């Protein structure tokens, strides 16, 4: 008696997940970069590299929003009201991630 056991391992990290995370990080990088460029005089107490933290934290939060968008893919492909609801929830979660990332990134510098 032989047993044909075909196990397939599915990786969570797929190229489409990476693509959506990079898009989310890119979308987050643009407004935080524009905000930081518009700052005229930095407080000397912040240190010379104070811009590094927001330029890392905010795109990471955008990447988290992109990952959530990827996780909602099964609902977005069902169509109808489920698709509309999923897209709306993805938008709200992405905006929330950007808000939290901005607060965490700018805490102690521009928002002291």
Structural domain of 82:
15-34+50-106
Q: What is the pLDDT of residue 63?
A: 97
- Report the pLDDT value the prediction gives residue 42, as an integer from 0 to 100: 75
23 pLDDT above the threshold of 90: yes
Per-residue CA distances from 10 to 7, 44, 76 (Å):
10, 50, 21
With a cut of 70, say whether residue 9 has pLDDT above it. no
Q: Domain count for the chain, please give it.
A: 1
* In a domain? residue 8: no
Decide if 64 is inside a domain.
yes
Residue 82 falls inside a structural domain: yes
Please report whether residue 2 resides in a domain: no
**Is 10 part of a structural domain of the chain?**
no
For the stretch 30-77, pLDDT in tens is: 999 999 999 877 777 888 888 999 999 999 999 999 999 999 988 888
Residue 42 falls within a domain, yes or no?
Answer: no
Is 101 among the domain residues?
yes
Confidence at residue 14, expressed as pLDDT on a 0 to 100 scale: 86
Question: Domain for residue 76, yes or no?
Answer: yes
pLDDT tens, position by position, 68-108: 999 998 888 887 888 889 999 999 999 999 999 999 999 98
Whether 15 shows a pLDDT value over 60: the answer reads: yes
DSSP symbols for 53-79: HHHHHHHHHHHHHHHHHHHTHHHHTS-
């Amino acid at each position: 008696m032989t047993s044909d056991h075909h196990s397939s391992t599915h990786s969570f990290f797929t190229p489409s997940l990476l693509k959506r995370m990079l898009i989310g990080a890119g979308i987050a990088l643009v407004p935080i970069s524009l905000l930081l460029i518009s700052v005229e005089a930095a407080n000397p107490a912040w240190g010379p590299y104070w811009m590094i933290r927001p330029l890392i934290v905010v795109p990471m939060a955008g990447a988290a929003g992109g990952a959530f968008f990827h996780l909602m893919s099964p609902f977005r492909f069902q169509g109808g009201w489920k698709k509309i609801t999923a897209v709306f929830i993805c938008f709200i979660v992405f905006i929330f991630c950007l808000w939290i990332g901005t607060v965490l990134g700018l805490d102690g510098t521009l928002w002291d």
